[in-house]
Copies of this chain bind each other. A is one copy, B any other.
Amino acid sequence: MTKKDTILHAALKLVTKEGFYHLSMKKLAEEAQVAVGTTYLYFDSKEKLINELYLKIVADFTEMVMKGFQKQKPFKDNFFTMLGNAIDFYVKFPDCFSFIEQYALSPFLFKETQEENFLIWEPVFALIKNAKKENELKNMHVTLCAALIYGPLTSMMRMHIAGKVDFSKKALQDELSQMCWESVTGRK
């Protein structure tokens, strides 16, 4: 792991544990076991660091989610593949989920537009576009469809992290996938 990655990793851990509000460059440096000054060799500012971390996580997430996606495959296959991938990613890396959510919700925290808040949604919209062509979905607004897929996932993750439910169980994950599927298609 490069020193840059070590720092990003430490940032992720601290943000998850204590939140943006309590993240300080000193604590970050300690966690990453480097000097404060070292951080600034790799990142122009705290803000840039956070943004870079966000983009990295989104890229990882997107890559993971798209794994196995094939345009020519039936929509149903792609749907379960991608939703399954997303669940896997979040359950495996709850810190990433936690970070993304905090980032998305903090207005102007470390970003100038709200656009990038929705980068994480890209795969969802890609999937929907794919489905539309096949006329697989119930007739509804595209954002609503996205909300029906991504919303329950985030809610489950929040409860999982809070210890309200154990979302690492395969059965529960499958249940979510199935319910989402029925929800947007109306079919079993």
Contact = CB atoms under 8 A, between A and B. Distances in A.
Contacts of A138: 179
A175 interface: yes
Contact of A165 (B107, B143, B154): B143
Interface stretch (A61-69, A128-136, A156-164): A156-164
Interface size class of A (residues with CB under 8 A): 35 or more
Interface in A77-116: 98, 101-102, 104-109, 114
A43 interface: no
A114 B160 CA distance: 12
A55 interface: no
A168 to B, nearest CB: 13
A1 interface: no
A186 interface: yes
Contacts of A106: 19-21, 102
Contacts of A179: 138, 140, 144, 148, 183
B152 A108 contact: no
Given A144-B175, A182-B186, A186-B182, A22 B156 contact: no
B105 A105 contact: yes
B118 A144 contact: no
A147 B158 CA distance: 10
Contact of A141 (B18, B117, B118, B165): B165
A6 interface: no
A108 B18 contact: yes
A2 interface: no
A153 interface: yes
Contact of A147 (B140, B156, B162): B156
Interface of A: 16-22, 98, 101-102, 104-109, 114, 117-118, 138, 140-141, 143-144, 146-148, 150-156, 158-159, 162-165, 172, 175-176, 179, 182-183, 186
